[in-house]
Amino acid sequence: MGVSLAHHTGFNAVTLTNTILSSARNAATHRQNCEQLAEHVRVIGNLLDKLRSTDLIKLPAVKEPLDELEVALKRALELVESCRDKSCLYMLAMGWSVVYQFRQLQDEIDRYLRLVPLISLVHEFRMQNLKEGLEAVEKDERDYTLDQEDIEAQNVILKPDRTKKDADILEKSLSRKYPDMDFHEALQEEKEKLNVELLRSRTQNDPDQCRVIEHLIDVTENVVNVLPGKKVEKLLSNEPTYVVSGYITNSKTSYGDFGVKNMENEEVKSEWQADLFGCCSEPCLSLKTLFYPCGTFSWIANKVSKGKISREQAINNLMAYSVFCGCCCYTCCTRRKLRQLFNVEVFCISIYTYSCSLLYSLCFLWCFI
């Protein structure tokens, strides 16, 4: 019975590593950290496969650290799944706390793995086959941190007063988390998830977390008031909210007469990536696009393809077509998708993409001259 249980424990650890790998690919927040942890877990999975091929896994001395390893892997899976399923605003607000959990989990997992080669000197010869795997785990150092864009979004959602620029930053952040939704739908999704988190925190009797979540719910409602672009007397209501030691206090917000209903009644269509695609709705191109047209085009190609075309791939494709001066042909499909996505007049898009492709062709040919 003990042998069977030990084998079953090892099997569960391997199964958990595979589940973490698959869940990390669908993470909405802390994606880089999830992928870092998944890659480290993949290295551990390779070591566990080697360990299962020996009879050491039958020993009680091996079973104990593997049991602890399985518990740590379960917590790692819960953390990755929370980055996939929980509210994006909540995970951003808890940013560095979540990063610390990633670091702590990797250290804990590695600590239990180091117990395996110390079981007994009698088995030193049989452990030689595992040394390479253990060395690979020790050398696999991962840096868990917050992206600069996530730091900016975290600063915005924790601020008591937010400007239009702050709202644009938050809009960009949510656009990456919900590429298939418009902004209003994304906010509703966030609000539902935040209400679930609020109920959980109240059940656990955690007042600090409740105040944070209540503030985030207020943020979702306030950001909607900023976006319509109509004649509104004030962008955001002043909240008597203060950030002290990472917690939100006094998060009761006073709202004006305008709210979500204004957006629904006016049927204003939200545009993702306001600063990126703003040049498409203006007669004159922005300076960023004028001086770096290829960079802007790569952003557009990546967004309209919903991530299927990376920025690097878009640049490479544009470079290949530039050899034959066929940039306009390549950008034709992107122009059509962009017009459908943002409902922009054909004239503005054509001027932009033609300028982009023409400048890129000249730059490319200049390199050869």
Using a 10 angstrom Cβ sphere, with 0-12 exposed, 13-18 middle and 19 or more buried, the burial of residue 341 is middle
Q: How many domains is the chain partitioned into structurally?
A: 3
Q: Are residues 28 and 131 in the same domain?
A: yes
What pLDDT sits at residue 20? 86
Domain stop point among 266, 301, 323: 266
Is the pLDDT at 253 greater than 50? The verdict is no
Three-class secondary structure of residue 205 per DSSP: coil
| 74 and 118 both lie in a single domain | yes
d(CA 95, CA 91): 6
Whether the predicted pLDDT of 27 surpasses 80: yes
Q: Beta-carbon neighbour count of residue 75 at 10 Å?
A: 14
Residues 26 and 153 in one domain: no
**DSSP symbol at 285:** P
- The residue segments making up the domain with residue 352 are 274-368
- The whole-number pLDDT of residue 268 equals 39
The predicted model gives 29-48 an average pLDDT of: 82
- 8-state DSSP, 56: G
Residue 289's pLDDT band (cuts 50, 70, 90): low
Is residue 285 located within the same domain as residue 340?
yes
Residues 351 and 284 in one domain: yes
Neighbours of 321 (CB within 10 A): 19
CA distance 92 to 108: 24
Q: For 175-180, what is the mean pLDDT?
A: 79
> Which whole-number Å values give the CA distances from 273 to 161, 173, 174, 200, 341, in the listed order?
22, 9, 10, 33, 12
Residues 190 and 219 in one domain: yes
The DSSP code for 254 is -
Q: Are residues 152 and 135 in the same domain?
A: no
Q: Helices 311-323 and 293-304: crossing angle, nearest 10°?
A: 120
CA distance 191 to 72: 31
pLDDT digits (tens, 9 = 90+) for 337-348: 766 666 555 555
Minimum mean pLDDT among 7-16, 31-40, 169-178: which range?
7-16
List, for residues 113-141, the tens digit of each pLDDT value. Answer: 777 654 443 345 455 555 555 566 666 67
DSSP E strand stretches across the chain: 242-244, 247-249
Both 278 and 240 in one domain: the answer is no
Q: Which range among 16-20, 259-263, 349-353 shows the weakest confidence by mean pLDDT?
A: 259-263
- The Cα 70–Cα 315 span in angstroms is 44
- Whether 303 has a pLDDT exceeding 80, the answer reads no
Instruction: For residues 16 and 292, give the distance between their C-alpha atoms in angstroms, rounded to a whole number.
Output: 45
Is residue 108 pLDDT above 60, yes or no? yes
Q: What is the mean pLDDT of the chain?
A: 67
Out of 100-104, 137-141, 142-146, 318-322, the most confident range is: 100-104
Q: What's the whole-model pTM score?
A: 0.52
